[in-house]
Copies of this chain bind each other. A is one copy, B any other.
Amino acid sequence: MKDVQNLKDNRGIKINEVGISDLRIPLFIKSGRVRQQVIAYIKMGVDLFANIKGIHMSRFIEIAEKVKNSEISDGMITKILKEIKNRLNVNYSRVEMSFTYFLTKKTPVSMKTCTVSYECKIIGESGEDNTRWNYFEIIVPVSTLCPCSKEISKYGAHNQRAEVLLKIKTKHYLKISEIIKKIENESSGELFSILKRVDEKHVTEKMYNNPKFVEDVVRGIASWVMNDKRITDFIVTCKSYESVHTHNAYAIIINEEYKC
């Protein structure tokens, strides 16, 4: 059978990234001593030399089939990146894995166990000479209570769910639970799935004592990230689903040389 992909292309244009997206496979991830199950969205890509017509996309899926049900780790990602390079004969390979991560928490007063979920993305890249880059993205839902509304009102203050999106570049992947804690600490309050009445009282009062604009949230997180030697690049966004408006408020801090 003719190999159409291997034909020549004479436009002389290199393709930066070409591959497959939105593939789903079951995986695992270690959190502490416990393994948790993960249903990942996979994106895999490579660069393509200027003179070749196309890539053989089924090879990405064959590689994905081989790692099915295995555990996400630095070593596993390195292995995928290498195998992509070998099978597709390219200089650059990239893999993205998006999944839901579960954190087990204790409610603040009743001390009940509850589970909270966070959307994460792990990205690995391998360039020429097998240089490796690691990226990690997470969306952490938090609450924000408006400092202005609190200050000017006789009682109450508008508050709402907000979402922090943090993207970082690191040499080694950090512990996900550590990142979540750092982000939640800079909001008006972390979220729980269970809140008994004693907890709800605690959470409500804590939020009122801890007002934050979206500006405050991203500054707080940037203060940490900028001083964490393990993180070499970042962007942080907070988007607040204002309870008194139909539109949203947002703030962004970007590392000066951001290239994530």
> Contact size class for A?
35 or more
Q: Do the beta carbons of A192 and B244 come within 8 Å of each other?
A: yes
CB distance from A93 to the nearest CB of B (A): 14
Contacts of A213 in B (CB 8 A): 5, 53-54
CB distance from A189 to the nearest CB of B (A): 7
Identify whether the interface residues of A are mostly helix, strand, loop, or mixed: mixed
> Which A residues between 35 and 63 are near B, CB-CB below 8 angstroms?
36-39, 45, 48, 53-55, 57-58, 61-62
Interface check A179, CB cutoff 8 A:
no
A244–B208 CA distance with the chains assembled, in angstroms? 12
Contact with B along A4-40 (1 / 0, CB 8 A): 1100010101111111111111100000000011110
- Contacts A156-B208, A204-B157 hold; do A18 and B100 have CB atoms under 8 A apart? no
Interface check A241, CB cutoff 8 A:
yes
> Which of A156, A160, A226 counts the most B-chain CB atoms under 10 A from its CB?
A156
Contacts of A155 in B (CB 8 A): 155, 205, 208
Give 24 CB contacts A-B under 8 Å: A4-B152, A9-B215, A13-B223, A15-B251, A21-B239, A21-B247, A22-B247, A25-B102, A26-B36, A37-B38, A48-B215, A61-B247, A62-B112, A65-B112, A65-B113, A65-B114, A65-B194, A68-B115, A117-B246, A149-B204, A152-B204, A156-B208, A203-B244, A207-B243
